[in-house]
Amino acid sequence: MQHFQLFIDGAFSEGAMGQTMRSENPATGTPWATFACATPTDVERAVAAAKRALEDPIWRDMTQTARGKLLYRLADLIEENAEALGRIETTDSGKLLAETASQTKYVGDYYRYYAGLADKIEGAVLPIDKPDMHVFTRREPIGVVAAVVPWNAQMFLTATKLGPALAAGCTVVLKASEIAPAPMLEFARLIQEAGFPKGVVSIVTGDAENCAIPLTRHPDVDRIAFTGGPETARHVIRNSAQNFAVTTLELGGKSPIIVFEDADLDGAANGLIAGNFGASGQSCVAGSRGLVHRPILERLIAKITEKAKGIVVGDPLAADTHLGPLCTEAQINTIKATLGKAQSQGAIIHFGGTPLDRAGNFMAPTLVECASSETETLKVEMFGPVMSLLPFDTEEEAVALANDSDFGLGSGIFTQNLARAHRVSARIRSGICWVNTYRAISPIAPFGGFNQSGYGREAGIEAIHDYTRTKTVWINTSAEPMANPFVMR
């Protein structure tokens, strides 16, 4: 079995207590790797290294342009190693190699985007209302960043945090999920090869008690960038009360996809399949609440059913596989329980609905026709290939159903009516709205949610400012000494 170490202060090492965890290949159910687990002592080492690096002239005084060049170098290395990193991620998480390799290659563009922005971080001269005062602002690195990422899109979610943080001049301790962390620990080799100074980036993993909690409540952490579930996020917020770290949260979702009767049915079916069966449904923006205009419901179900017949479920390393295993057995159990309750509520399962009778965590792609908006599959984020469809009769009802959720991350609309697309997208409470497409991403486009899908935005120009603090500098330009403060004029 392969073994992966922690990366702290520019070097690879075991955890302070020598503890390891075992990772299973979800496609086979057999162990394939071990990885070192961090302890509070290791977290302390990583944060201390980040604090030192922040004040070390090598990083502190490096020009913004030079920081950008390091990010360009990292982007090149990611592209060169995309296939190898993708293969590790696929073996560790079960995601398709076709997706992990291509997504890893694409995240190079995120680092290039922020490399280009590194020397565009500017202050401003203020037209101050007092004579003999030259006043300007400057943006300075916010400090030590704790970045916490889940297993399901870790290269992408790391790029949206690490890219702007490093471009801004921060230092980062990245906490990879204890579920399938191997690609992140391997990614550390590229950080090292790119030439970032020691301590600027450390990568650790481990359980909540020994790793995540000590990191997010550490007094020297100035900012927390977290992606995960709402329950864990509540703990993160409580931890941040200890250090007052600026915190952003990118959480889960139950994203609606609205299909109007004038939609191109092939495009809508493909959008629903991409939104639910893409990445085996293991996506925070999975379009798992399909809202369909009642007159086209039967035709759309027939079209989805026909397309689903061609879905190949199998080895995620194989080029002809469309849908791989789920990462954990717990996801299978959640899906089975949720489907069982939905059926008791009157839901109809048109296809799928059961795990596959084979080794590994394989779940058949599943289509559920819901009896009401209270159907369990419309409420629970299952993180699996389950599509739920619910009919609606009017545009007003569609909008109300779309907004009937505690979440608000993604949403989709399929319609040929441009006015309707603008009208409905403006009314849906979600951070992202795709029209006649789904799951498209770009480093240029902000990513984040409303409600219990979190707050703050990742990617886009604004994100880089979230890793800076504004300092205001006042300079008295008068030739006269400062006036006596007790003599009022």
> Which amino acids are annotated catalytic?
250
Contact 288, 448 (CB under 8 A): no
Contact 278, 418 (CB under 8 A): no
In b/e form, how buried is each residue of 247-259, taking b as 16+ CB within 10 angstroms? bbbbbbbbbbbbb
Contact 262, 389 (CB under 8 A): no
Q: What gap in Å lies between CA 398 and CA 417, rounded to an integer?
A: 15
Q: What gap in Å lies between CA 106 and CA 439, rounded to an integer?
A: 14
Q: What gap in Å lies between CA 206 and CA 288, rounded to an integer?
A: 30
Contact 236, 214 (CB under 8 A): no
**Edge-first strand listing for the sheet containing 201-205:** 11-13, 6-8, 201-205, 171-176, 144-148, 223-227, 246-250, 454-455
Q: What are phi and psi of 261, to 5 degrees?
A: -65, -20
Separation of CA 188 from chain center: 18
Encoded amino acid at 88, one letter: I
